Amino acid sequence: MTSREAVRDEGADPAGRDPFLLYDGECPFCSFYVAKSQFETRIGKPLRLIDGREAPGLVSRLRREGYDLEECC
């Protein structure tokens, strides 16, 4: 998946209610990992892959909710 295929509509809630993975689309490691991995949740639904650089509204919301998006692993 490329960052072009990630969610782009800032007006909508890109995360919705489905499980998602927020990643840094400008990070070579993150982009490679997302492109080469096939994610599926425990409930059998695909994991939505969201490039945080193309979903600033979601990034802002998660930060307001107290998530540290700079912390890795």
**Sign, CA torsion 63/69/37/57:** positive
Return the structure tokens found at 65: 């909710």
Stretch 36-55: mean pLDDT, rounded?
83
Q: Model-level pTM?
A: 0.67
Identify whether the C-beta of residue 25 lies closer than 8 Å to the C-beta of residue 54: yes
At 56-66, the pLDDT tens digits run 999 999 999 99
Residues 6 and 3: their CA atoms lie apart, in Å, by 5
Write down the mean pLDDT value for the chain.
Answer: 77
